[in-house]
Amino acid sequence: MLARSGIRREEASSTALVGADVEVPLVSGGVRRYINLDHAASAPCLVMVKQAVDALLPWYSSVHRGAGFKSRLATEAYDGARVAVRSFVQARSDDCVLFTRNTTDAINLLASALPVGAAVVAFASEHHANLLPWRRRDVTFLPVPHSPEEALEKLDQVLRWIRADTRLVAVTGASNVTGEIWPYAEIARLAHRHGARVFLDAAQPAPHHPIDMTGSEIDYVAISGHKLYAPFGAGALVGRSDWLRSGEPFLAGGGAVDYVRVDDVLWAELPDRQEAGSPNVLGAVALGVACRTLRPTHRGARRGAAQHRSGHHRRRHHRASRCCGHDCPERYRLALPELRRWHRLLARPRPQTTPYDAVRPLPDHHRLNRRNRIRYGRR
């Protein structure tokens, strides 16, 4: 199985998960090993990530503000995590790496940094995190496309029509409603032909698929640690620095300034400018370790995909995946019959519900959910 997927045995051992052997009680009595079907919503912790956090805990201290040994060590670990994230998304040398709480936090940060008068274009099929922050701006939501070609055609039309000097196209890398992998590299090239920039919500594809900002010409990328098997409350926004350093920072506070008076302030340079307050050092280091750990699996995934395309691994009973009513050659394949069975089970009335159970997708997603029976997650 490992050879068939293109992943080496040593790579598989490095991706062992905390809690993989946990047993849970059954309503009928006894216990069984827990099968987690929720990895796409929030992934468990990699063993290597836990080991790194445990090793750092005795040495934890403030970063960028202490002269003691622990402080210098914690600072080095924090800055090293920034290097790991940069390498993971294959960012350009002059791109800025900002640590955030998650993808949602990263997108809101970018939305706050857009120049005055900027216009945003997004598809109505986006995750809530890539829809709601843009509503504070001049935003155009395109209808859910029926094919990648239609997505590019609609985007080309609207970019010809929008006359704003500054434009941003916000797109997901992979939908957690349908599983479809979006043609974001083609979208980036099209947007650049019109002088627009591109933001990629990489929360879903990053754990499984290489993100190449330089090769795909992506201007901004956001990732979440809890999707990358590092659930310690950290994410990242990576991208061009000019927008991020203009204007006031998203959060104002200690660490984001070089000079302060009651009636005046001199904001610090990036990344400090956009990382006010005491940083989540453990979360950032956990994210960095996860990025270093997952990169070899991405190389294995590329080998497996190349073998599949060359015909080395053909499935005897292959059924084409469908997305938004059309065949999708590139898609994270979901066991839809099994998910439908679980959906019916979980959808039964329960005596108590939490506020999170009341979350509903936006109108355009109701049509998709009726077909795929997949609920929205958090980022």
What pLDDT was estimated at residue 15? 84
Query: Angle at which helices 184-193 and 148-161 pack, to 10 degrees?
Result: 20
What pLDDT was estimated at residue 299? 63
What pLDDT was estimated at residue 247? 86
Domains and CATH numbers, the chain: 50-295 (3.40.640.10)
| 3-state class percentages of the chain: helix first, strand second, coil last, to nearest 5 | 40, 15, 45
Q: CA 148, 95, 81, 302 torsion: positive or negative?
A: positive
Say if residues 178 and 372 touch (Cβ distance below 8 Å).
yes
What pLDDT was estimated at residue 361? 42
Q: Which two tokens stand for residue 213?
A: 């900002």
User: Could you give the CA distance from residue 140 to residue 178 in angstroms, rounded to a whole number?
Assistant: 22
Residue 140 identity: T
Low-confidence residues in the chain, pLDDT < 50: 1-10, 304-329, 333-346, 348, 350-367, 369-376
Q: Which two tokens stand for residue 230?
A: 């590092």
95 conformational bin, left if phi > 0, alpha if psi -120 to 50, beta if neither: beta
Q: Is 195 helix (H, G, I), strand (E, B) or coil?
A: coil
